[in-house]
Amino acid sequence: MTAEGQIVLFRFPQTDQQSGKLRPALIIRRLPGLIRICRLAVVSGDILIGKIGDLDSQRLSRIKQKLSQWIQVE
């Protein structure tokens, strides 16, 4: 079971249909504001290899806020 703030490993899907490279990913459920993302992967939990860490709630909140500001459409 994944939860927001977890850092997990998975094979990031490649556009050329190759198996992908092993990458860390931060689980984020929702970002504040209206956003537009140019590269987003919604993946099945079945391809997650495992959890490698967690972020505390304050740090996660700051990351979500800064990410939202960075990609927000104005």
35 phi-psi bin (left φ>0, alpha ψ -120 to 50, beta other) = beta
d(CA 47, CA 32): 27
- pTM summary value: 0.64
Per domain, the residue ranges of the chain are 6-71
pLDDT confidence bin for 20, thresholds 50/70/90? confident
Smallest Cα–Cα separation from 37: which of 48, 49, 47, 28? 28
Spatial contact of 47 and 6, defined as CB atoms under 8 Å apart? no
d(CA 13, CA 27): 16
Q: Which two structure tokens, joined as six digits, stand for 11?
A: 């094979």
* Tens digits of residue pLDDT in 26-49: 888 766 655 444 455 666 777 788
